[in-house]
A and B are shown apart, each in its own frame.
Chain A
């Protein structure tokens, strides 16, 4: 109970001190709720084709209009949030965390381990992000867990790893030489303890920025892969796919086909960035009061 109270108090304080971050969080929460309770939010079937209502504009029946197969766009965005949020969030989390772990270890240890790891990272970096994801998807095929293609998550996470690794390594290099780390070493603490207690909390600022930025990137990457036919495939609803599909052919007659999925992507990216920035400030004792 006391625990719950403290959490609640912190949430209220966060909303008061970081109103923009709270707005971002609210948008994320609304999207997540829609994704989870999609069946309750809309009564259309996202995959049901209705040739009677092809390319109809926004109306009371179809608030965001319909696509070239007569499917309700609002419904498809709501269901699409499932794919977008899980794939975007999961792959960015996985990619950034692995990258950060490698980056911290590499910078803290230094020497030949750093050299080897960084050359390996260079190699991965030399592949364009889409090409690398393509290769991974093509090699690994599909592994569906709860309707989510795990291999797609990995395919998107892998190109994120070296990018996150680079940034976190640079941050660690500057923190590693700080006297407070020397003080901890002189205190005889174990390396793992120093990494967790001294290094990790102090690289959290660039890490959070990376994490939220790559959620957005991952959603877009998922869209690109879907466009190339390697991500989510029709008729499953996915934001990227909705943008990519044949909406481009109809942008004159039915601009809503591009507009609303595009808005959904922008809004989620925006929300994650807002929240990430506020979280960074919130976690920094310097900005707290």
Chain B
């Protein structure tokens, strides 16, 4: 019931791009998705989420489905599990052959038997995919008892094995704990253990590491790769991160607007991408392995609306190389030079090769007077030495942090989640109080300022948030959102304010008709542009950018980063750029600070920090960040950090990184390393910083 399969004939009629499919599948092929079409029925009409998509994966192989949000990658994977939301979504055409059986023809109970036993799935958010009221043991043994009919003791025995397999120590005790007692990375390990429990033949991982920190991500990826290789499990991984693809995949399928635009062996796709979209994707991400350029090359525009039937190539409106043919005829997915591409352009019509990045035309600072001075600030959460709790329970979120930002400068603040980087930003904005230390903006203390002065200062220190949707009032139109600061704070007359709104909208590259729209009617990139325009409306000198691009799609990220750079060049504003993505920070920053557990561990000019990182944590971060190049990724030995970040409570002794540091000695546990200048303008807080350098030289 529910899923009806339309005959093969109709499938091919419905979609112009038929490709030679003879129906026979080779023995090696484990999963074959054939001309799959999925529609969502919404109030606005039919949404063609997946429109004639075919991909296959051989036994033991790893396939990566790559694409931006809404391109249909998750929907096509959920279709394999037959877990699409009902009744909104329906599979209107195609076949899904798993080991020769068409999954779409199976009954619900047959399908239930397959899920978890033959095919299992790992979801993105480990925080919500575990049941909080059941122990980890219950949740791992559940599929074992259900599918394999194991007894309680057998299942528990197997669960211990599984936990050991995914690298969780102290298995017996851990089994009786609840999900909240595990960290994010640990929970994802548990999810993987559950996925592996019945020894499935296929695992579908939907953005398995997107919610995790870089160092944890590297651990999980490494582990998943080893396990699937060792156990011969076929893996389909869905991701937007090209670096992960390069590390993992044997085969890549790039999706755009519900269709596959390019697929083939990973090496070929990365070395010689054919489709303009793939080429654009690869070039629009800032990369650690390339010199940084002045601006990123971006794919302009936004993905198409999938409610309407479009003529021609879906990518045509955003494509630089568009021809007449592209606008009228949908390209077929045809084999070319070792992989399949859906593009009308012949090989020689493409620009010779991926252009190298424009060499770093270094942005000189026009003026160098100090705008913001942060001196020894501390922040505790919880009972800070008063009340009924002893001081030791206070969480020391920000620990003696100092830095300065000059006029027109971008300071990058990097660190993993929970390292206190966002708190620092909020303290500067005075959204969070400061327990000790001083923050001086343009010579004036933010900490001791009167309420009236604070109001004036707030116009000069603005903020851009991570989640562009949540940062806009859902009840206000964009016009109202932008008018508000002009009228409320700057007290402009209505006419002048309207003109200024138009100017702001132009400045962030939007069309003026957004003024009447509400946040939910815009795309993520457009919302973030409004967020930027709102910050600019105040005429600020400093903008605190709190992860401004991490919630955006790859091709949109580049646009926003470029926009921020252009605005800085024009208006001379300073940025405090808070992010976890090292490549993005490197691209945009003049100076970079690395934080770990509330402390600054290293500070240096951007290029120097990335070329010569001295703190072992910085080096581990750089080593963990995946780079979109399969050759580099495969050659990588991976000096990966073990363990996880813990919380820092007041009164901690010794180096905070000592428990994970590959170079730690007994001394590290005793001595509190101070931030010292190890060469001109390069600071690191490590007692072994010279060792770090020597090691590097010898390596």
Interface residues of A (CB under 8 A from B): 178-180, 182-189, 193, 197-198, 201-202, 285-286
**A178-B474 Cα distance, complex, nearest whole Å:** 11
In the assembled complex, the CB of B262 is this many whole angstroms from the nearest CB of chain A, namely 36
Contact at B488–A183, with CB atoms within 8 Å?
A: no
Q: How far is the CA of A197 from the CA of B472 in the complex (A)?
A: 12
Pairs A-B, 9 closest by C-beta atoms: A188-B458, A179-B471, A285-B518, A188-B455, A201-B475, A179-B465, A179-B470, A180-B473, A186-B463
B470 touches A187 (CB 8 A): no
CA–CA, A201 and B470, complex, Å:
15
Collect the chain B residues with CB atoms within 8 Å of residue A179's CB: 465-467, 470-471
In the complex, A182 Cα to B534 Cα: how many Å?
Answer: 13
Taking the complex as formed, is B652 at the interface, i.e. its CB lies under 8 A from any CB of chain A? Answer: no
Q: Which of A178, A185, A198, A285 contacts B470 (CB 8 A)?
A: A178
Q: How far is the CA of A2 from the CA of B618 in the complex (A)?
A: 65
Complexed CA–CA distance, A185 and B544 (Å): 14
Taking Cβ atoms with an 8 Å cutoff, the residues of B that contact A are 426, 429, 431, 454-459, 461-463, 465-467, 470-477, 484-485, 488-489, 518, 520, 531, 534, 538
A183-B465, A187-B484, A187-B489 as given contacts; A202 in contact with B431, CB under 8 Å: no
Question: Inside 8 A of A186's CB, which chain B residues have their CB?
Answer: 429, 431, 458, 461-463
Q: Which residues of A have CB within 8 Å of B465?
A: 179, 182-183
In the bound complex, residues from chain A placing their C-beta under 8 Å from that of B466 are 179
Using Cβ atoms and an 8 Å threshold, which residues of chain A touch B484?
187, 189, 197
Given A182-B431, A197-B476, A285-B475, 11 extra CB contacts under 8 A: A179-B471, A180-B474, A182-B426, A186-B429, A186-B458, A187-B488, A187-B489, A188-B458, A188-B489, A202-B473, A285-B474
Closest A residue to B455 by CB, please name it.
Answer: A188
Give 25 A-B contacts (CB < 8 Å), ordered by A residue.
A178-B470, A178-B471, A179-B470, A179-B471, A180-B470, A180-B473, A182-B426, A183-B463, A185-B431, A186-B429, A187-B458, A187-B484, A187-B485, A187-B488, A188-B454, A188-B455, A188-B458, A188-B459, A189-B488, A198-B473, A201-B475, A285-B475, A285-B477, A285-B520, A286-B474
A175 CB to nearest chain B CB (Å):
10
Find B474's partner among A184, A187, A189, A202 (CB 8 Å cutoff).
A202
Q: Are A182 and B472 in contact (CB under 8 A)?
A: no
Complex CA gap A202/B476 in Å reads 10
Closest A residue to B520 by CB, please name it: A286
Q: Are A183 and B534 in contact (CB under 8 A)?
A: yes
Least Cβ distance of A17 to chain B in Å?
12
Q: Least Cβ distance of A279 to chain B in Å?
A: 14
Chain A residues, Cβ within 8 Å of B431: 182, 185-186
Distance between Cα atoms of A202 and B475 in the complex (Å): 7
B428 to chain A, nearest CB (A): 10
* Complex: chain B residue closest to A201, CB-CB: B475
- CB contacts (< 8 Å) of B488 on chain A: these are 187, 189, 193
CB distance from B384 to the nearest CB of A (A): 15
What residue of chain A has the Cβ atom nearest to residue B466's Cβ? Answer: A179
Bound Cα distance A75, B465 (Å): 62
Residue of A nearest to B467 (CB): A179
- Which residues of A are found within 8 Å of B471, using beta-carbon distances? 178-180, 182-183
CB distance from A210 to the nearest CB of B (A): 18
Tell me the minimal C-beta distance from B598 to chain A in angstroms. Answer: 21
**With the chains together, A182 CA to B471 CA distance in Å?**
8
| Minimum C-beta distance from A173 to chain B (A) | 15
Q: Is the CB of A182 within 8 A of B458?
A: no
Query: B470 — which chain A residues lie within 8 A by C-beta?
Result: 178-180
Question: CA–CA, A242 to B473, complex, Å?
Answer: 48
The smallest C-beta distance from B83 to any residue of chain A, in angstroms, reads 26
- Nearest residue in A to B461 (C-beta to C-beta)? A186
Closest beta carbon of chain A to B483's beta carbon, Å:
12
Q: Which of A180, A182, A184, A189 has the most C-beta atoms of chain B within 10 angstroms of its own C-beta?
A: A180
Q: Could you tell me the distance between the alpha carbons of A281 and B41 in the complex, rounded to whole angstroms?
A: 21
C-alpha spacing A285/B517, complex, angstroms: 9
B465, B466, B467: residue with the most chain A Cβ atoms closer than 10 Å: B465
Collect the chain A residues with CB atoms within 8 Å of residue B459's CB.
Answer: 187-188
B295 to chain A, nearest CB (A): 27
Task: State the CA gap A184–B534 with chains docked (Å).
Answer: 10
| Chain A neighbourhood of B456, CB < 8 A | 188
Q: Chain B residues near A188: list those with CB within 8 A.
A: 454-459, 489
List A contacts of B475 (CB < 8 A). 201-202, 285
Complex Cα distance A189/B455, Å? Answer: 8
Chain B residue at minimum C-beta to C-beta distance from A182: B431
> Does A182 contact B489, Cβ atoms closer than 8 Å?
no
Task: Specify which chain B residues have a CB less than 8 angstroms from the CB of A189 in the assembled complex.
Answer: 484, 488-489
Q: Which of A178, A188, A198, A286 has the most CB of B within 10 A?
A: A188
CB distance from B551 to the nearest CB of A (A): 11
Which of A186, A189, A285, A286 is most buried by chain B, counting CB atoms within 10 A of its CB?
A186
- B24 CB, nearest partner CB in chain A, Å: 49
Closest to A198 in B: B473
What residues on A are CB-neighbors of B472 within 8 Å?
180, 183
